[in-house]
Amino acid sequence: MKNIILVGYMGSGKSSVARLLGDRLNAFVLDTDEKIERDADMKISRIFEEFGEERFRDMETELLRSMKDENAGFLISTGGGMPMRPENRKLLKELGTVIYLKASPEVIARRLEHDTTRPLLADAKLLSEKEERIGAMLKLRNGAYTECADIVIDTDDLSVEEIVSVIFQKIRG
Ligand code: S3P
């Protein structure tokens, strides 16, 4: 099996889908946020605070570069900002089949309403502020997600189970 890479905005379900799909495919799941946190021995919010977003983005690029030769059997769940750098998009595409889990600002804002782990949304307290911020970011990001994706799945009305079934159909068909 080629590697499968999940991309998409925060709260689009990448980690949950990766876990379930990993079980079903018996594939090794790698979550880039978790790997960066383990390697740095620091939570992402701390990395942002201490070193700034650019350093975190460098860590993401370094991780992708280090995975270049992993060409089979991995299920990779990426941080929501991973596809923003052109170099990362190229590396992601080379790594395997890229699947964009697409979700609307309304659905994402509801899912992340009480989340405290995403530094880029930390100062948007109200649901309406979150939705506005997410909408603005998605406008800037959607093109990058779409550009590197082989498959795009609209996840707004789908459960994690259903998303996994759709992925199965697409990669098997
Ligand atoms: C980010 C998404 C996060 C994490 C960091 C930045 C982003 O990952 O990498 O907080 O820029 O969208 P998730 O998409 O797993 O939440």
Question: CATH number for the domain including 38?
Answer: 3.40.50.300
Q: Is the dihedral of CA 159, 33, 107, 104 positive or negative?
A: negative
- 44 Cβ below 6 A of ligand 1: yes
Q: How many domains does the chain have?
A: 1
Tokens 């740095």, located at residue: 40
**77, 120, 123: residue to mutate for ligand 1 pocket, most atoms within 8 A of CB:** 120
Instruction: Give the residue numbers spanning the domain of 62.
Output: 3-172
Q: What distance in angstroms lies between residue 9's CA and the mean position of ligand 1's atoms?
A: 7
- Give, for all 173 residues of the chain, the pLDDT tens digit: 789 999 999 999 999 999 999 999 999 999 999 999 999 999 999 999 999 999 999 999 999 999 988 777 899 999 999 999 999 999 999 999 999 999 999 999 999 999 999 999 999 989 999 999 999 999 999 999 999 999 999 999 999 999 999 999 998 87
Give dist(CA 41, CA 75) in Å, integer: 23
Q: Is the CB of 80 under 6 A from ligand 1?
A: yes
Taking the whole predicted model, whether its pTM rises above 0.85 is answered as: yes
